[in-house]
Amino acid sequence: MKISVTALFVLLTILQGAAQLPEPEIIMDKSRELSIAGTISANITLTITEKNGSTRNRTFAMSTKSFPEDVGKRYIKFLSPPDVKGTAMLIIDNLKTADEMWIYLPALKKTRRIVSSEKGKSFMNSEFTNADMSSPPVSDFVHKHTTQSGSNNQFVIESIPVDEDKADEYGYSKKVSYIDKVNYQVQKMEIYNFENVIYKIIEIKGIHNLPEGKFIVSDMLSSNLRTNRKSEIKMTNIAEGAKVDDSVFSIQNLER
C-alpha cells in the first residue's frame, strides 16, 4: 500500500511537470525558426570516417541567403580534394516543393540539374541526410515530450513521421531531439530505425550564435551505429549578414 501511494505521488509529479511544459510543436517550431539565418558565408570541412578508420575530407566554401516565400538558396564551391576542385553547386531549398540542385562539373564543362525529393537521402555521400542539413517542416511529424523532458534543463522531444510514406521519405521511424530549455538550441538527435533501435546519433559540437537569439550549427558529428561510419561538418570563417549579391545564387555564376 505504501509503495502504491509513493508510485502515485511520483506519477502525479511527472504529469504535473509535463503539464507545465510548452507544447512540443511550439518548441520544435521555435527551435526551427531560430536556426534559420539570413545570409551566411563560411568555409566548410566535411570529414567522412570509414569504419576501418580511413578518412576522406572535402572542403568547400558556402554562402546561404534567404529569399522571399520561404526559399533558401545555398551556393557551394569545392576547394578540395584536387580532382573535384572547382565543382560548384547551387541548392534551392523550397519549403513546399522539392529541393532543386544544380551542379557544375569543371572537368566535363557541364552544368546539370539534379532532382531529388528524398529527404532521407545522403548529403554528399556522408552520414548526414538532406533533412539533417535543413530544417524539415514541423507538420511532417507528430511530436511529444518524453518522460525525461524538462529535466536537466532540456526538452526531450520525440518526433514520429505522420504516416508510413513520410517515414519512408525520411528513412526512420522516430527521432528524439534534445533541445536546450533556455535558447532552444538542439544539442543532440537520436535517430531510430524501423526496429525502433537507435541507429544514428547526431551531436551538435559547436554553435555559432547570431543576434536576436538566432544561431547556426557550426560543428556537428553524425555517427551511424549500424555502419560505424562517422561524418563531421565543421564551419569556419563564418560571416553572418555579409552582403552577398543575389547573382551569386544563379546558374550562370556556377560556371564562373
Partner 1 sequence: MQPSGLISDRMTDFVIRNRWIIITSCILLGIISGIIIPFSETDPEIRNYIPASMKSRIDTDTIENEFGVQDMVVILFTDSSILERENLEVIRNIDRALSRMPGITSRTSPFTVRSIKSEEGAMIAERLIKRIPEDSDETRELQQKVTGNRFAENIVFSHDMTSASITAFIDKNIPETETLRKIDSIIRCNPARMEIRTGGLPYIRKYIISDVRKDAIKLVPLALLIMLLILKITLGSWRSVIMPFSVVMISTFVSMGLLPLIGWKMSIITLLLPIIMVAVANNYGIYLTARQQEIIRSEPSLSGREVLRRLYRSLNMPILFSGLTTIAGILGLLTHSIIPARQVGILAATGVAVALFMSLMLIPSLIYQTGPGDSGISKSDNKNLLLDKLLKATSRFIIKHSGKILIISALVTIILSTGILIIRIDTNQENYFPAKHPVKMTSELINKKFGGSQTISVMLEGDILSPEVMKGIDNMTRDIEKMDGVGDVYSISLAIREMSKAIFSEDEKGYNSIPDSKEAISQMFELYYMSGEPDDFKQLINPENTKAHVLIKLSDASNANIKLIKKEISGFSGLFPATIVTGGYAIIMDDFAGEIIKGQASSLILALFTVFILLSIIFRSFKGGMTGSIPLAFSILIGFGFMGLTGIALDAATALLSSIMIGVGVDFTIQYLWCFNLNFKKGIGYIEATQTAITTIGRSIIINAMGVMAGFSVLMFSGFLSIRFFGYMVFISIGSCLIGALLIIPAFILKFRPSFVEKDFERK
Which residues of this protein are in contact with partner 1, per CB under 8 A? 48, 50, 54, 56, 78, 81-84, 87, 89, 101, 103, 105-108, 110, 112-118, 121-122, 124-127, 164, 168, 173, 193-195, 197, 229
Provide the minimum distance between the beta carbon of 24 and partner 1 in the complex, in angstroms, as a whole number.
Answer: 25
Provide the minimum distance between the beta carbon of 102 and partner 1 in the complex, in angstroms, as a whole number.
Answer: 9
Provide the minimum distance between the beta carbon of 12 and partner 1 in the complex, in angstroms, as a whole number.
Answer: 37
Please list, in sequence order, all residues whose beta carbon lies within 8 angstroms of the beta carbon of residue 175, skipping any fewer than 6 positions away. 141, 158, 159, 189, 190, 191, 192
CB neighbourhood size of 33 (10 A) = 13
| Assigned C-alpha cell, 220 | 556537428
Strand partners, 192: 174, 198
The H or E element containing residue 11 is: helix 2-20
Provide the minimum distance between the beta carbon of 207 and partner 1 in the complex, in angstroms, as a whole number.
Answer: 27
Provide the minimum distance between the beta carbon of 114 and partner 1 in the complex, in angstroms, as a whole number.
Answer: 5
Q: CA triplet 194, 199, 201: central angle to 5 degrees?
A: 130
Q: Which is nearer to partner 1, 89 or 179 (CB)?
A: 89
Q: Which is nearer to partner 1, 112 or 241 (CB)?
A: 112
| Assigned C-alpha cell, 181 | 530549455
Q: Which is nearer to partner 1, 7 or 107 (CB)?
A: 107
Provide the minimum distance between the beta carbon of 194 and partner 1 in the complex, in angstroms, as a whole number.
Answer: 3
Q: Which is nearer to partner 1, 61 or 103 (CB)?
A: 103
Q: Which is nearer to partner 1, 25 or 118 (CB)?
A: 118
CA distance 7 to 41: 54
CA distance 233 to 124: 11
Q: Which is nearer to partner 1, 46 or 179 (CB)?
A: 46
The H or E element containing residue 133 is: helix 130-133
Q: CA torsion angle for 219, 224, 230, 236 (degrees, to 10)?
A: -10
CA distance 132 to 166: 15
